[in-house]
């Protein structure tokens, strides 16, 4: 096996992102070994630095778990981009970078003088991606609309399909469009890097967060295009398989998911609950189980109600039935399986000590990935970037600081 | 800007072998195929990929016209091979010898039996990347547990974050529409595979890439997980929202999502609503009190919304930079002028003489745009064409078909 260089070692990212979608995109690049320099500003602090959770409930721009989760392994450079000298630093950073990532509202970055043409003039083979809510400025009548994470879920069509039967449209629990766009964006950038490696040609990528979520909705969209009707909101149920539900268990707000996708799985489930159930004519075929789903759920629900979700999982998994606890944060934190996989990241941080964070969900066995440092404090790497990356002399750095360009 | 030039695709010439079922590996490989990779999809004989049986269907059930399958398998070649037979594994071995990437979502316990052991495949082709997607990864106590998409959504901690809010203790944790665990795994697998492919272009060395579906989901819990290690709090779907308005309202003709996170957004919305008297009530003086008194505010806002149409309120709010969004129906998306202007939806041949409209990719590369080159394959459609260059003579192909190794 060759020396374990991470795939993107030697690649630098000028990261002009904020909130979640953009930072989640650049997080993937950092995971893969790129040097990601987040350009931040004390006067326009990333929203996630201002949101809880904070240890001991005490706020602070370096204390947010939200920021610290999604900026692991990145560097932080503070620049006051309203200052022309700071803009010159930004341009130098782009000259020294392979990738530019930004997720301002469409057109904003261009108006700052850093659109693709400007970036390409600085670095001809640059790969640049904009992750905007509606796509690049001018690409459609709504392209300059304002986009917030929670509003993306309803806009994308997700909410009209998600919810309990007969209830209003609902959310999905997180600002789902953000991480989805971040991952799509990272894949788009990597494909462009492969193209660049083979041809020397850089390019611009226009990503729409709205569209990134729709790419995950084919069953809804194709229902409309193929049958003329959209599916109705139907809770946790599935159009084909039954049972397909999350059942209440013993304990306070404890739940377990159970699915059978074949007759074989159903028979195993039925035998585990009550041997006579396996012969119950109401549930003999997939079609009948779907037809009699209310009765089916009631029967299974009664059995689950006196057991813990862990007990249900153990009993059913032993017979080959797909069952699993609806995990909450504490369950995940204490989970023996995740713990055994060296998945969690616990690295020292100057202000919050060592806290547990979620790690990298993919393992590259030949070029192992590892988060090298906790998320940066605001401006933690300003001197490093100016001196080591851009080669500025100490007196120039002092002059920039004096002039207020580095805040 | 570089023209969408020369018909060169970003991933042209990259050869991928996919053994995928339902969503995870097929979606990962689709992203690569849409960007130009040559993907050969191996399906089991007879039944094929389970997505062929999921629909949506236009009228009668037809495994060649399942909407989910048609979407997830654009731009791929399809062969039908029984990988549990030695002659079938030999076909896979020969394919992998000339491939850059093998990507699969075969259960860990079956990997070797299906000829997908990464060390054996890489022994004959050192540059090969082998990506394995599985529910819990390739190691750890839960490795061999049986999981369907809903179980993973529960195991990843996403389900427990979504539900009816305060007062809906009896309603279960709620999944998002569709097979979202599979989609998230497919996104992560595309990123990780492209990272490993990029590395192999430089080093000539492939490797094993391991993706845990559970971990993919735990990595997108926004700030919900970190509340536990940072503050000892377990986020719940039953909690109150800390700020409002950030909720669904019913208009004359559908639902809208109203979103006033910042005070200026609220003020502009109050103006838009005609500065009604209730807006001046002390109960609603800031976003925190608007959340604390949401029960009351919701009534006033509901009365206002009931007089509006979704489209008018959406555009009027956005004209004032207020980030409202419609709760888009599938019909709304397909009719959207904005999405039409961006050319988001694509039309593909359905393999039965008709056409079907599918979601496109969410990004536009300026030099190497994604494109549809080919509809999804019929089961075994390309078997003969793919086998011939591997050294199989027509007589041998006929014998393999007659003995049920290929279809």
Q: Which residues of B touch A71 (CB under 8 A)?
A: none
Q: Do A69 and B226 touch (CB under 8 A)?
A: yes
Please give the CATH number for the structural domain made up of B15-220+341-402: 3.40.50.10540
* Residue in chain A nearest B169 by alpha carbon: A253
CA angle B102, B23, B161 (to 5 degrees): 125
Q: Dig out the tokens for A59 from the structure.
A: 């706020």
Which residues have CB under 8 Å from B239's CB, separation 6+? B165, B166
Residues of chain B with C-beta less than 8 angstroms from the C-beta of A57: 231
What are the residue boundaries of the structural domains of chain A, listed by start? 12-216+338-402, 244-248+255-325
Average pLDDT for residues B255-284, to the nearest whole number? 95
CB-based contact B330:A160 (threshold 8 Å): yes
Cβ contacts (< 8 Å) between A324 and chain B: which residues? 145, 147, 151-152, 154-155
Distance from CA of A77 to the nearest CA of B (A): 23
Q: Average the pLDDT over B266-289 and give the result.
A: 95
Q: Point out which residues pair with A83 in neighbouring strands.
A: none
A1 pLDDT more than 50 = no
Which of the two residues, A213 and B7, has the higher pLDDT score? A213
Q: What is the CATH number of domain A12-216+338-402?
A: 3.40.50.10540
For chains A and B, what is the number of CB pairs under 8 angstroms? 510
Reported as a pLDDT band with limits 50, 70 and 90, residue B6 is low
**CA–CA min distance A375, chain B (Å):** 14
Question: In the prediction, which pLDDT does B249 show?
Answer: 97
pLDDT, tens digit, 9 for 90 and up, residues B161-220: 999 888 999 999 999 999 999 999 999 999 999 999 999 999 999 999 999 999 999 999
First to last CA, chain B: 46
Cβ(A338)–Cβ(B163) below 8 Å: no
Closest Cβ opposite residue A255 in set B161, B172, B246: B172
Hey, are the CB atoms on B154 and A68 less than 8 Å from each other? no
Cβ-based neighbour number of residue A318 at 10 Å:
12
B78 DSSP β-pair partners: B41
Among partner residues B55, B177, B207, which is closest to A162 by beta-carbon distance?
B177
Give the model's confidence band at B241: pLDDT under 50 very low, under 70 low, under 90 confident, else very high: confident
Secondary structure, 3-state, chain A = CCCCCCCCCCCEEEEECCCCHHHHHHHHHHHCCCEEEEEECHHHCCHHHHCCCCHHHCCCCCCCHHHHHHCCCCEEEECCCCCHHHHHHHHHHHHCCCEEEECCCCCHHHHHHHCHHHHHHHCCCCEEEEEECCCCCCCCCCCCCCCCHHHHHHHCCHHHHCCCCCCCCCCCCCCCHHHHHHHHHHHHHHHHHHHHHHHCCCEEEEEEHHHHHHCCCHHHHHHHHHHCCCCCCCCCCCCCCCCEEEEECCCCCCEEEEECCCHHHHHHHHHHHCHHHHHCHHHCCHHHHHHCHHHHHHHHHHHHHCCCHHHHHHHHHHCCCEEEECCCHHHHHCCHHHHHCCCCECCEECCCEECCECCCCEEECCCCCCCCCCCCCCCCCHHHHHHHHCCCCHHHHHHHHHCCCCC
- Is the full-model pTM beyond 0.95? yes
Q: Which residues of A are catalytic?
A: 178
Contacts 24+ apart (CB under 8 A), A236-240: A236/B150, A236/B172, A236/B174, A236/B175, A237/A165, A237/A293, A238/B150, A239/B54, A239/B55, A240/A286, A240/A290, A240/B53, A240/B54, A240/B55
- Is the Cβ pair B259, A162 closer than 8 Å? no
CATH 3.40.50.11610 assigned to A244-248+255-325 = no
Tens-digit pLDDT profile for residues A61-115? 999 999 999 999 999 999 999 999 999 999 999 999 999 999 998 889 999 999 9
A394/chain B closest Cα distance in angstroms:
36
- Residue among B137, B194, B356 minimizing CB distance to A226: B356
What is the pLDDT at residue A94? 98
- Binned at pLDDT 50, 70 and 90, residue A272 comes out as very high
Query: CA-to-CA distance for B151 and B85, rounded, in angstroms?
Result: 31
**Residues in chain B within 8 Å Cβ distance of A359:** 215, 219
Average pLDDT of the segment spanning B116-123: 97
CB contact under 8 A, A54 and B231: yes
Q: What is the pLDDT of residues A205-258, one digit of tens each?
A: 999 999 999 999 999 999 999 999 999 999 999 999 999 999 999 999 999 999
Question: Is the CB of B139 less than 8 angstroms away from the CB of A341?
Answer: yes
Query: CB A324 to CB B151 under 8 A?
Result: yes
Q: Which long-range contacts (CB under 8 A, 24 or more apart) does B276-280 make?
A: B276/B300, B276/B304
ipTM above 0.90, yes or no: yes
Kindly tell me if the per-residue pLDDT of B114 is higher than 60: yes
User: Looking at beta carbons, which residues of chain A come within 8 Å of B324?
Assistant: 151
Closest CB from A147, A156, A178 relative to B323: A147
Residue B332 has pLDDT above 90, yes or no: yes
| C-beta atoms of A217 and B57 within 8 A | no
pLDDT of residue B3: 44
Q: A346 near A354, Cβ under 8 Å?
A: yes
What's the pLDDT at A257?
98
Residue of B95 and B236 predicted with greater confidence: B95
Cβ proximity of A190 and B187 under 8 Å: no
Query: What residues of chain A lie within 8 A of the CB of B207, using their CB?
Result: 1, 364-367
CB contact under 8 A, A190 and B223: no
pLDDT of residue B353: 87
CB contact under 8 Å between A261 and B148, yes or no, is yes
Residue entry with tokens 């997830």: B72
pLDDT(A327) > 80:
yes
Q: Find the mean pLDDT for residues A284-305.
A: 97
A322 → closest Cβ in B148, B210, B334: B148
Interface touch B359/A190, C-beta < 8 Å? no
What are the angstrom distances between the C-alpha of A81 and each of A146, B23, B330? 22, 43, 41
Contacts of B37 (CB under 8 A, 6+ apart): B9, B11, B12, B14, B15, B16, B29, B101
Whole-number pLDDT of residue A3: 54
Q: What is the rounded average pLDDT of the residues A182-199?
A: 98
A353: β partners: A349
pLDDT band at residue B4 using 50, 70 and 90 as cut-offs: very low
A338 contacts in chain B (CB < 8 Å): 140, 214-215, 218
3-state secondary structure chain B: CCCCCCCCCCCCCCEEEEECCCCHHHHHHHHHHHCCCEEEEEECCCCCCHHHHCCCCCCCCCCCCCHHHHHHCCCEEEEEECCCCHHHHHHHHHHHHCCCEEEECCCHHHCCCCCCCHHHHHHHCCCCEEEEEECCCCCCCCCCCCCCHHHHHHHCCCHHHCCCCCCCCCCCCCCCCCCHHHHHHHHHHHHHHHHHHHHHHHHCCCEEEEEEHHHHHHCCCCCCCCHHHHHCCCCCCCCCCCCCCEEEEEECCEEEEEECCCHHHHHHHHHHCCCCHHHHCHHHCCHHHHHHCHHHHHHHHHHHHCCCCHHHHHHHHHHCCCCCEECCCHHHHHHCHHHHHHCCCEEEECCCCCEEEECCCCEEECCCCCCCCCCCCCCCCCHHHHHHHHCCCHHHHHHHHHCCCEC
Q: What is the mean pLDDT of residues A277-284?
A: 95
pLDDT tops 50 at residue A154: yes
In chain B, ranges of CATH 3.30.1540.10 domains: 246-329
Q: Do residues A140 and B342 touch, judged by C-beta distance below 8 A? A: yes
Model confidence at A4, pLDDT cuts 50, 70, 90, reads confident
Task: Name the average pLDDT for chain A.
Answer: 96
The topology (CATH level 3) of B246-329 is: formyl-coa transferase, domain 3 (3.30.1540)
């Amino acid at each position: 096996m060759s020396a374990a260089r991470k795939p993107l070692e030697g690649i630098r990212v000028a990261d002009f992102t904020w909130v979640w979608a953009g930072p989640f995109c650049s997080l993937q690049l950092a995971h893969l070994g790129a040097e990601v320099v987040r350009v931040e500003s004390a006067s326009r602090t990333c929203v996630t630095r201002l949101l809880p959770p904070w240890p001991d409930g005490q706020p602070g721009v370096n204390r947010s778990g939200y920021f610290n989760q999604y900026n692991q392994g990145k560097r932080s450079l503070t620049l006051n981009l309203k200052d022309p000298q700071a803009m010159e630093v930004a341009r130098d950073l782009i000259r020294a970078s392979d990738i530019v990532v930004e997720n301002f509202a469409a057109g904003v970055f261009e108006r700052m003088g850093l659109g693709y043409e400007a970036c390409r003039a600085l670095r001809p083979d640059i790969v640049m991606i904009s992750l905007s809510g509606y796509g690049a400025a001018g690409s459609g009548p709504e392209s300059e609309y304002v986009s917030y994470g929670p509003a993306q879920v309803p806009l994308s069509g997700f909410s009209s399909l998600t919810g309990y039967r007969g209830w209003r449209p609902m959310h999905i629990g997180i600002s789902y469009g953000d991480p989805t766009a971040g991952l799509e964006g990272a894949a788009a950038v990597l494909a462009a890097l492969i193209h660049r490696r083979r041809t020397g040609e850089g390019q611009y990528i226009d990503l729409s967060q709205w569209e990134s979520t729709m790419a995950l909705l084919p069953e809804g969209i194709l229902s409309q295009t193929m049958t003329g009707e959209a599916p109705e909101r139907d809770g946790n149920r599935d159009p084909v398989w039954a049972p397909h539900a999350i059942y209440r268990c013993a304990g306070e707000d404890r739940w377990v998911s159970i699915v059978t996708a074949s007759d074989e799985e159903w028979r195993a489930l039925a035998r585990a609950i009550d041997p006579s159930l396996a012969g119950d004519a109401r549930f003999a075929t997939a079609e009948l189980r779907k037809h009699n789903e209310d009765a089916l759920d009631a029967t299974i629900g009664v059995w689950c109600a006196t057991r813990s979700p862990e007990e249900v999982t153990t009993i059913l998994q032993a017979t080959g039935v797909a069952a699993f606890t609806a995990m909450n944060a504490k369950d995940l934190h204490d989970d023996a399986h995740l713990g055994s996989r060296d998945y969690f990241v616990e690295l020292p941080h100057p202000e919050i000590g060592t806290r547990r964070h979620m790690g990298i969900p993919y393992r590259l066995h030949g070029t192992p990935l590892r988060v090298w440092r906790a998320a940066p404090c605001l401006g933690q790497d300003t001197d490093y970037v100016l001196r080591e990356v851009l080669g500025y002399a100490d007196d120039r750095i002092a002059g920039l600081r004096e002039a207020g360009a580095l805040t | 800007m570089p023209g969408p030039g020369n018909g060169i695709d970003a991933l042209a010439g990259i050869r991928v072998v996919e053994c995928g079922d339902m969503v995870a590996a097929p979606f990962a490989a689709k992203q690569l195929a849409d960007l130009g990779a040559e993907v050969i999809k191996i399906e089991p004989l007879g039944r094929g990929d389970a997505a062929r049986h999921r629909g949506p269907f236009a009228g009668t059930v037809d495994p060649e016209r399942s909407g989910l399958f048609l979407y997830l398998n654009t731009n791929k070649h399809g062969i039908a091979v029984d990988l549990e037979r030695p002659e079938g594994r030999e076909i896979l071995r020969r394919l992998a010898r000339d491939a850059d990437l093998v990507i699969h979502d075969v259960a860990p316990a079956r990997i070797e039996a299906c000829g997908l052991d990464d060390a054996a495949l890489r022994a004959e082709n050192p540059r090969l990347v082998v990506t394995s997607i599985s529910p819990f990864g390739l190691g750890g106590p839960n490795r061999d547990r049986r999981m369907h998409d809903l179980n993973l959504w529960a195991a990843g901690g996403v389900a427990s974050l979504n539900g009816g809010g305060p007062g809906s203790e009896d309603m279960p944790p709620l999944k998002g529409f569709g097979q979202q665990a599979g989609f998230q795994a497919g996104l992560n697998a595309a990123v990780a595979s492209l990272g490993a492919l990029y590395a192999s272009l430089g080093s000539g060395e492939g490797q094993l890439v391991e993706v845990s579906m559970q971990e993919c989901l735990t990595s997108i819990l926004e700030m919900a997980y970190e509340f536990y290690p940072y503050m000892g709090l377990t986020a719940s779907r039953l909690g109150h929202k800390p700020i409002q308005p950030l909720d669904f309202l019913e208009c004359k003709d559908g639902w809208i999502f109203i979103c006033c996170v910042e005070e200026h957004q609220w003020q502009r919305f109050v103006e838009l609503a005609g500065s009604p008297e209730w807006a001046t009530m002390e109960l609603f003086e800031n976003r925190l009190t608007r959340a604390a008194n949401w029960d009351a505010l919701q009534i006033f806002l509901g009365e206002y919304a009931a007089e509006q149409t979704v489209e008018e309120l959406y555009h009027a709010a956005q004209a004032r930079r207020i980030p409202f969004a419609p709760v888009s129906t599938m019909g709304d998306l397909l009719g959207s002028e904005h999405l039409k202007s961006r050319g988001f939806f694509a039309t593909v041949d359905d393999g039965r003489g008709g056409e079907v409209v599918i979601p496109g990719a969410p990004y536009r590369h300026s030099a190497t745009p994604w494109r549809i080159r080919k509809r999804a394959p019929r089961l075994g459609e390309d078997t003969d064409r793919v086998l011939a260059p591997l050294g199989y003579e027509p007589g041998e192909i006929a014998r393999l078909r007659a003995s049920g190794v290929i279809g």
